[in-house]
A and B are shown apart, each in its own frame.
Chain A
Amino acid sequence: MALIRLQNISRCYQMGAETVHALRDVSLEIQRGEYVAIMGPSGSGKSTMMNLIGCLDTPTAGHYELNGTSVSDMDDNQLAEVRNREIGFVFQTFNLLSRSNALHNVELPLIYGGMPAEQRHQVALDALAQVGLGDRIHHKPNELSGGQRQRVAVARALVNKPSILLADEPTGNLDSKTGAEIMALFAELSRKGNTIILVTHEEDIAEHAHRIIRLHDGLIASDERQNRP
């Protein structure tokens, strides 16, 4: 069974008098354990696709099934619960809470998930150790380097053991060396069996993925698997 199943998904936005079709009747399946890159120029619909897959948004038409559950008709609170359980976000700008330390940032999804405090603490520590930041848990974001911040964000994304790791231009704000480190971390996470979806417009970043889906004008232009060396 596919982890992600998009069936005839459309998403329109009303921009004044004009209707913008960000996605037009798109169907797509992603299996558990896949490492997929979604590519396309700006305006191609890749952000919309990411928002829909990440359950931040719902389609205008079509059906979306995530992990066997239909999410296209859910309300705000149900979607929040699905995001909490099933999806780990990694953003281009890290989006850490600036006034909280690394540990608390990672604990946050667990708080919303309702995990008791002692257990939460241990789980968050484990997640930080997994991304190599076990010794930086009490540092605030502004005391960490860009790469370290993104690692905290990855730890936060992974802490709930989600079905999907959804990364939106994760290396966009990093220098190439740090970017490479983050991509190496993703590769390792993929080897460990995590499903990773990478949204990017950089070819060399997308090259890390096992499957590249290219969008153009709200349609899937190509969907190709590549054999990793």
Chain B
Amino acid sequence: MAEVFIKRDLPLVLIFIIGILVIIEFFFPHPALSAIKAELGTWTVVIANVSIFLGLFYMSYAQYRLLQRQKTLSGYVYFITPFVALCLFFIGAAFPGYTSSPQYQWLYQNIYRAQVAMYVSLPLFYCYYAAYRAFRIRSIEALALMLGGLLYTFRQIPLFTYLCPPLHPIGEWVLLVPNVAGGRGAVICVALASIVVGLRTLVGKEVTTIEVR
């Protein structure tokens, strides 16, 4: 009973009180309510900071579970790698200047940046592969999608706008007229759906909000 109260009822009550407070502040921005909202925002930042350590704990636990399933040399390498990286960055940040220290900057530039840039660049090739294998103009909708995409892309590439100057205004028109019309419609739909989900959450009807149903 107490467990259900802690895991289900208490979070719902807190969600309801805080949600209502924030909504009232939006419509009636009284200084007292604004102060409460600001304080709640600060708490959120504190929670977000603490959650970094929670993430570290979960990552460690997930790594440990993986190691239990694969106790091979590669398993131990996979297990140890993130912790070595973590220690390296902690050591880098321990030098004077902390995260601005040359040591930390070197690690960031030569390990992290290179790795993320590689990870971000690879989808370029997958895009080309997808365009080759999957982007078939089977219908008028697919043709419209491809034309819209290409016109916007061509606008972004100076070579095309140089060779064919009308591509620039056409691409801009695609971006600022049909895209805006469709985009605004989508945003309004999402906003209306968010209101429904928000109201369901406030009254405790949204089953995904809490752990115990």
> Are A and B genuine complex partners?
no
